[in-house]
A = this chain, B = another copy of it.
Amino acid sequence: MRSVLDRQLHPAESTQTGIASRQAVLAAAQQLIQEQGYAGLSMRELARRSGLAKATIYHHFQDKRDVLLSVFEHDIRTVAERIAEAAATPGSHAQRLRAVIAAYFAIQVERRMVILNAIRETVGLEDQIWAIIRAHRDDLLRPIMSILQDAIAAGVARPVNVELAVMALFGMIHSFVTHRLLIDGNDFTAEMEEFVLEMFLHALHIPADRSAHATPAPVAPLHTTDTE
């Protein structure tokens, strides 16, 4: 009966099968949310997909909210990891930003869902979701903010509010991802990545570094347990 709201339990106490069931639910939930949005997450369907009885889900999670929050937290954490990884790419500021942008693009497209923007669906849940977001927002933004701070300190970028700059960067990416997923459908990812990078570099006066394209870290599918 581990839950997002109940973290004091040590994770090793659960039996092997117990953990497996719990993760089966989370995996099914993640998949359902990707396919049908938050509103599409019905406990009935979740039970069907996870291969468990409805009542069994309630053995592992307090309620639907708890499932949702667990998925949400796991996801935001995974995204933060991916971004941090990409930001750690060696190379020039431009190269590192390119890697970050590519990674974030990849994650968003891969999941058909934009975490930060998808919040709006979850009206009655907002209070608890805020807490999770506030707790992880820094992890999400910090690696990129660091790059910008470095660049500014090095005199390579003009001085700006780096937090706002990163938010602006995320916004641009969201916009293109949404467009690609919902409107156009064609894959102009490479082109869009290039455009976003260029806009961002120009906005901050960072010189483009076209000598070599940084190879973005390969993006593993979410909810794989091997990286945890």
Contacts and interface: CB of A to CB of B under 8 A. Distances in A.
Interface of A: 35-40, 113-114, 116-124, 126, 130, 133-134, 137, 158, 160-161, 164-165, 167-168, 170-176, 178-179, 182-183, 192, 195-196, 198-200, 202-205
B183 A134 contact: yes
Contacts of A160: 195, 198-199
Given A168-B195, A202-B203, 20 more contacts: A37-B121, A37-B122, A37-B123, A38-B121, A113-B120, A114-B120, A116-B178, A117-B117, A130-B183, A158-B202, A164-B192, A167-B175, A167-B176, A168-B172, A170-B175, A171-B171, A171-B173, A172-B172, A202-B202, A203-B203
B171 A175 contact: yes
Contact of A121 (B120, B195, B205): B120
Contacts of A126: 182
A164 B122 CA distance: 29
A178 B40 contact: no
A170 B179 CA distance: 12
Q: Copy number in this complex?
A: 4
Judged by DSSP, the binding face of A is: helix
22 contacts: A36-B124, A39-B121, A39-B123, A116-B175, A116-B178, A117-B174, A118-B121, A120-B121, A120-B182, A126-B182, A160-B195, A160-B198, A160-B199, A161-B195, A164-B176, A171-B173, A171-B175, A171-B176, A172-B172, A174-B174, A174-B175, A200-B203
Contacts of A195: 160-161, 164, 168
A119 B178 contact: yes
Most buried by B among A39, A113, A124, A199: A199
